[in-house]
Amino acid sequence: SEFGFPEALALAQDGTIYVADTDNHAIRKIKNGQVTTISDDDWYYPKGIQVSGNFAYVSDTGHDKIKKINLTTNAVTTIAQDLNSPTKMVKCGDMIYFANTGQMRILQLDLNTLDVTTIATGFLNIGGLAVMEDTMYVVDGDGLFDYIREVNLDTGNYDVIAEDPHMETLNNASGITLFDNNLFVANKG
């Protein structure tokens, strides 16, 4: 299979990989070396995906929506709309946090009530999100000024915990993850 600039991957507990195949406007599944399209919904530049249990949550960026896919039936439901270019996302408990890049904000979607609220504002270009307990780590920058910010999820306040004024270690970061109490950042630059 040929992918078109996929911007997000999610790993299910059974080892299946789900792909937001961005420029092909599709959601794909890789299992046992086989690639299949799992949804024939009308996707338009999906750029974020998270898997939890029997569901995948997808940022349908071009349609300004967050959608949920039932991975058993492949049925698609819109769970948030009228957003502004939602992209990178992370799920923590019953909350999905995502970058609303058209406004350079981080929003929270409560999966129980489907309420969307603003968590933090004032970013340059959000490249990725990671959450541990009540703290979110955000890769933010424009290739010239790049930062890792630590956001308090209760207050929305944030501090810079790493920056790179020389474009050597943080440069157009496109992802961040936590593993074994360490932050790992993917840099496009």
φ and ψ at residue 22, rounded to 5 degrees? -55, -60
The whole-number pLDDT of residue 174 equals 84
Which amino acid would we find at residue 54? N
pTM of the full structure: 0.93
The whole-number pLDDT of residue 60 equals 98
Parallel/antiparallel/unpaired status of strands 46-52 and 34-37: unpaired
Cα gap 170→159, rounded to integer Å: 16
Q: Do the Cβ atoms of 108 and 97 come closer than 8 Å?
A: yes
Residue 134 token pair: 């009540």
CA angle, residues 5, 8, 11, in degrees to nearest 5: 130
Nearest to 149 by CA among 113, 133, 125: 125
Residues with Cβ within 8 Å of residue 24, at least 6 apart in sequence: 2, 3, 4
User: With a cut of 50, which residues of the chain have pLDDT below it?
Assistant: none
116-121: strand order across its sheet: 86-92, 95-100, 105-110, 116-121
Residue 177 token pair: 């993850």
